[in-house]
Amino acid sequence: MVVARLKPIKSKQNSVSEAEWQARLELAAAYRLIAHHGWTHLINNHATLRVPGTSDQFLINPYGLLYEQITASNLIKIDINGKLLEDTPYEVNEAGFIIHSAIHMSRMDLHCVIHTHTVAGQAVSALDCGLLPLNQGSLRFYKRVGYHEHEGISRDLNERDRIVADLGPHKVLILRNHGLLTAGVNAAEAFNLMYHLEKSCQTQMMVLASNHPYSMAPPEICEKGAQQFHRGNRPLGQRDWPALMSLVDKLYPDYGE
């Protein structure tokens, strides 16, 4: 595999707060997990995380690096407009931050946003029916997904208002003819939602590709299943996250550099 030559980055562990360093570790781990599961699109797309204790500062990947190369220290701190807030030898894809900034600006309860262009996600995004409740796992998204019509590459600042309106009260957005987006109170929840959303999209495309009749549970059962997944106030994915962080520690120890 051809890998971009990394530019030397001094560790930021001792130059940022303990809370920010932990946030950097968790976002870098999320990038490695996204790569581990094969959801990447070369150097494109983003996972962003609000800097703890701030409302308008965010961590994002350096533009030009693969997700396998993201570390806690080479993550870049930016403002709500995608402008650099620290010295770095890397650039930021400001246009790519428009989708994320729309959600970060409007949903102060959601601190992490993940956007992907997977094959299954793009396929479902092109279906008029959208995401179907075809299996137990997909019921968590029943009537809890927003849909945003395709407007071309997201470079128009005015599109942010429409993204926010289409997301509504949800944490999941399917960008029509484009891809998937999840948002969570932290990296754990955003990743957990994306994991199950991607699995649901893969399952749906396999069912449709079988060219056999399929069935879905009645609406009342679908709603019951959704409520079972979302019961309580605990964000999704909190039980999985320590184990996932341990996996990253073992497989990709350089993520914490």
Residue 23 has pLDDT above 70, yes or no: yes
Q: Is the pLDDT of residue 232 over 90?
A: no
Pair of tokens at residue 94: 């400001």
pLDDT tens digits along 75-98: 999 999 899 999 999 999 887 899
- At 136 the three-state DSSP class reads helix
Q: Does domain 18-230 have CATH number 3.40.225.10?
A: yes
Give alpha helix (H) positions in the chain: 18-36, 97-106, 119-125, 159-167, 187-209, 219-229, 240-251
CA distances from 108 to 78, 131, 151, 235 (A): 17, 26, 25, 15
Per the structure block, which two tokens stand in for 153?
């590459």
**What's residue 37's pLDDT?**
98
Q: Distance of CA 77 to CAs 83, 101, 201, 216, Å?
A: 8, 13, 32, 45
pTM of the model: 0.95
Mean pLDDT of 240-248: 98
Q: Which helix (H) or strand (E) holds 175?
A: strand 172-175
